[in-house]
Amino acid sequence: MTKNFIFTGLIGLAALSTTIHQQGFAQVTAEQVAQIKNVTGSIISEDGKFVAYTLSEPLDPKKENGFSQSHLYLLNTVTNTTIPFFTGSSVSQVSFRPQKGTITFLSRGANDKTNALYEIHVNGGEAKKIFTHSSNISSYSWSADGNSIAFISAEKGKQPKTSLTYSPKFFEEDYNDQNAYIVKIGDAPSSTQKLNLNGGAAYLIKWSPDGSKIAVSVAPSASVDDSYMAQKIKVVNTATRDIIAEVDNEGKLGQITWSPDSKYIALIGAYDLNDPTDGSLLIVAATGGKPTVIDGGYAGKMEQIYWLANNSIHFLSSEGTSNTIGTIQPNGNNRQYLYKTDVANITSFSVNKNGQISYTANTPQHPSELFTLAGGRKNNMAQRRTTSNEWLGNLKLGKQEVISYKARDGKYDIQGMLIYPIDYVAGTRVPLITVVHGGPESHYSNGWLTAYSMPGQMGAAKGYAVFYPNYRGSTGRGTDFTYSSQGDLSGKEFDDIVDGVDYLIEKGIADKNRVGVTGGSYGGYASAWMSTYYSDRFAASVMFVGISNNISKFGTSDIPTEMRLVHERGNIWDDWDKQLKISPIYYADRAKTPILIMHGAEDPRVHPAQSMELYRHLKVRQPNLPVRLIYYPGEGHGNARSGSRYDYNLRMMQWFDVYLKSGNAKAKMPGLDLPE
């Protein structure tokens, strides 16, 4: 499907490359970022001849304010050719159907009331709808014989009776029911059979290889908080549909998979209840009980697993700013790396019975693409299979490198990435944009770091250096590092960011009078903190869906339990004074940093009032300070639609161009019109 580029109109990729070359475009712009395509997932066939993958294609922001479309493509690994396989509507949950030589996926056609399960043969033809349910299917798992699926569907819960002409909204009492079912798929699918889970909301589901059991994770309710912190694995007998075993896992849960002999379950989950992420590898018997962490002490984070043989589990992991694909035995022994990269961010992988691998990855030079690895060998050479943004090859990029510096307390070496301005001359001091990730249980890898909310190569094209610190509390360096910021919100974690700025000033790269900051969610919290508490250090700030008042944040967020267990490590009401003193509004009297505040109007995670509180404090207490608040209607915790993303991007870069490039906090506020 050809997409519009704002400066070229409707043209193909080849024509686009030519047009860019002829017009002399040499640098990444907001218009180009708005049209970036990303390979988002892949599945390799059992014989290794095909890889089915999804390509996310954004809408033209000048024509539609809508969601990106995810289309199905097929790679023939023998001929090294790719073809669009299903682009009629957006797809998800792509899988090779066992024993059938077909690809299945979820999609919602123009005439579908809900999404449905579709099937298409690897040799092509029309996609056929093979199953639909009364409500949307959120996930499914094939039985090993390819004849049945287990699936989860969210259905409307019991509605209160009323004779009135309106229905009130019962806050946190009107969750959908998330039920699990099994159904035999054939020319005439059998009636669905509900799994007897004794209440709760189902999330993850996986059929055992021998067909006799299904593992399903269940939370007490469908609340976001319970989905984060309270999913427990149940093992269900497929014949009776009753629970036969329960797993006593704690905290966050990311993935479940079976051993080939169906005797054990591997999961990626929390190390313990206080772990802020699902980054450990655990094993438990199918008979239930307490799972065992087999990679304790690992200075990395497990991202994805696949149990290929009874004595070998494939894994994808993050190690600092690098990524690895490897194998490990179920007892935790014999960890081996099949592939490791320091210059790519691997986002997902798939492996078949022969050990052949497909994976998606982005690098400092390009957004996410499809790669393959031959199976069973160490130090494999990766083969890039797709080029989804051909125009990017004609552009000049700023140099990107991993940096490391010592935290002021001497406890850690902090890692991060730095993108230099294009054609940077060593020894030249330049304006610096600091980009802070959210979480804080997240991290940046050394891959593509440019998006609608991340200046990256757009900043490099405008003469900025762009800095991405992985401050303490970030993932990818083991549980000790991830736990290190708990109970110390805005403390040493944010000092680490400032220490990185000082390092770049000391190196003669950053101009100390022209340092900016931006970030979303927890990164928005950091942006607010830097523009109040650390305001003397920052010349401009762009805050996105950020926190300004930790007391009211707790009372208006959908994750209060997670906040208590993995961030605060305690109750906020035990020390109200402390909560105020780690809130940016407390330091509004220090503020002299021009700040642009942007927020999704329907954000359930960090309520939009958090941005209003900071705006109001600054407007009243610092009336001459340049401050602007923008709400995006229909958006939540981050912008998802093409138009609102493009608008955000343009206004972010405009704010930095006005206040950071000049270093003049008294510069005239930009107008409300979008910059040209």
pLDDT tens across 346-361, in order? Answer: 999 999 999 999 999 9
Residue 595's pLDDT band (cuts 50, 70, 90): very high
> Hey, how many other C-beta atoms are within 10 angstroms of the C-beta on 119?
18
- CA-CA distances (angstroms) from residue 419 to 287, 412, 590? 51, 22, 30
The structural architecture, per CATH, of the domain 405-412+425-454+465-498+508-660 is 3-Layer(aba) Sandwich (3.40)
pLDDT, average across residues 142-151: 96
The H-or-E segment that residue 504 falls in is helix 492-506
Q: What is the pLDDT of residue 8?
A: 25
Q: Which residue has the higher pLDDT, 56 or 186?
A: 56
Percent of the chain with pLDDT over 70: 95
Would the pLDDT of 18 be above 80?
no
Token pair recorded at residue 296: 């304790």
Phi, psi of 652, rounded to the nearest 5 degrees: -60, -50
Phi, psi of 224, rounded to the nearest 5 degrees: -60, -40
Residue type, 312: S
Per DSSP, what are the bridge partners of residue 542? 518, 596
Q: What is the pLDDT of residue 188?
A: 72
- CA-CA distances (angstroms) from residue 425 to 449, 459, 503? 22, 16, 18
Mean pLDDT computed over every residue of the chain: 93
pLDDT, average across residues 431-435: 98
Nearest of 443, 533, 425 to residue 517 by alpha carbon: 533
Q: What is the pLDDT of residue 676?
A: 74
> Hey, how many other C-beta atoms are within 10 angstroms of the C-beta on 581?
13
pLDDT, average across residues 21-28: 56
Is the distance from CB of 91 to CB of 38 less than 8 angstroms?
A: no
How far apart are the C-alpha atoms of 277 and 292, rounded to whole Å?
A: 17
Nearest of 33, 25, 28 to residue 646 by alpha carbon: 33
Lowest mean pLDDT among 5-19, 496-510, 657-671: 5-19
Determine the Cα angle at 525 with ends 520 and 529, to 5°: 130
Residue 25's pLDDT band (cuts 50, 70, 90): very low
Would the pLDDT of 500 be above 90?
yes
How far apart are the C-alpha atoms of 385 and 81, rounded to whole Å?
A: 8
21-26 contacts: CB < 8 A, separation 24 or more?
A: 21/394, 25/394, 25/395, 26/394, 26/395, 26/396
Would the pLDDT of 157 be above 80?
no
Q: What is the pLDDT of residue 374?
A: 84
Q: What is the pLDDT of residues 566-594, one digit of tens each?
A: 999 999 999 999 999 999 999 999 999 99
Determine the Cα angle at 436 with ends 430 and 441, to 5°: 155
Q: What is the pLDDT of residue 12?
A: 32
> By three-state DSSP, how is residue 601 classified?
coil
Nearest of 430, 359, 444 to residue 402 by alpha carbon: 444
How far apart are the C-alpha atoms of 475 and 519, rounded to whole Å?
A: 17
Would the pLDDT of 17 be above 80?
no
Per DSSP, what are the bridge partners of residue 627? 595
Q: What is the pLDDT of residues 82-92, one digit of tens each?
A: 999 999 899 99
Q: What are the E-state strand segments in 320-355?
A: 322-328, 336-341, 345-351
Q: What is the pLDDT of residue 381?
A: 83
Residue type, 566: V
Would the pLDDT of 16 be above 60?
no
Is the distance from CB of 418 to CB of 467 less than 8 angstroms?
A: yes
Q: What is the pLDDT of residue 376?
A: 54
pLDDT, average across residues 402-406: 98
- CA-CA distances (angstroms) from residue 175 to 154, 178, 604? 9, 9, 14
Q: What is the pLDDT of residue 275?
A: 95
Diameter of the chain measured on Cα atoms: 75
